[in-house]
Amino acid sequence: MEALTEIGGLVEQNLNYLIPAMGVFVRLGALLYLLPAIGETVVSIRIRLTIALALAVLIMPVLSQDFGGTIYSVSGAFALIIMEAIYGLVLGFGFRLMVYTLQILGNVVSQALSISQVLGEGIATEPNTTISTLLMMAGVTLLVTMGVHIEAVGILIMSFEMFPIGAAPNLDGMAYWLNHKSSDAFAMGITLALPFIILNFVYNAILGFLNRAMPQLMVSFVGMPAITGAGLFLLAISVGTVLTTWSALYFQSFAGFSDVMP
Q: Is 124 helix (H, G, I), strand (E, B) or coil?
A: coil
Q: Where are the alpha helices (DSSP H) in the chain?
A: 2-13, 15-34, 45-59, 74-112, 130-145, 148-162, 171-192, 194-213, 219-250
| Residue 259 covered by a domain | no
Q: How far are the Cα atoms of 30, 71, 174, 187 from residue 165, in angstroms, in the given order?
A: 15, 13, 17, 34
| Residue 183 covered by a domain | yes
| Domain housing 154 | 2-115+122-254
| Residue 205 covered by a domain | yes
| Residue 73 covered by a domain | yes
DSSP string computed for 29-68: HHHHHHSTTTTSTTS-HHHHHHHHHHHHHHHGGG--S--S
Rounded to whole angstroms, the Cα distance separating 208 from 217 reads 12
* Number of other CB atoms surrounding residue 152 within 10 Å: 24
Cβ(106)–Cβ(250) below 8 Å: no
pLDDT at res. 11: 53
| Residue 50 covered by a domain | yes
Number of residues that make up the chain: 262
| Residue 29 covered by a domain | yes
Rounded to whole angstroms, the Cα distance separating 68 from 56 reads 17
Number of domains present in the structure of the chain: 1
| Residue 239 covered by a domain | yes
pLDDT tens digits, 8-40: 555 555 566 777 778 888 888 888 888 888 877
pLDDT tens digits, 80-104: 888 888 888 888 888 888 888 888 8
pLDDT at res. 22: 83
Cβ(97)–Cβ(181) below 8 Å: yes
pLDDT at res. 219: 67
pLDDT by position in tens, the chain (length 262): 555 555 555 555 556 677 777 888 888 888 888 888 887 777 888 888 888 888 888 888 777 665 655 666 677 778 888 888 888 888 888 888 888 888 888 888 888 887 776 565 556 656 778 888 888 888 888 888 888 888 888 888 888 888 877 777 778 888 888 888 888 888 888 988 998 989 888 888 887 777 777 776 676 677 777 888 888 888 889 888 888 888 888 877 666 565 554 4
Q: How far are the Cα atoms of 56, 97, 227 from residue 67, in angstroms, in the given order?
A: 14, 32, 62
| Residue 261 covered by a domain | no
Rounded to whole angstroms, the Cα distance separating 221 from 118 reads 18
Rounded to whole angstroms, the Cα distance separating 68 from 21 reads 10
Nearest residue to 196 via CA among 255, 87, 115: 115
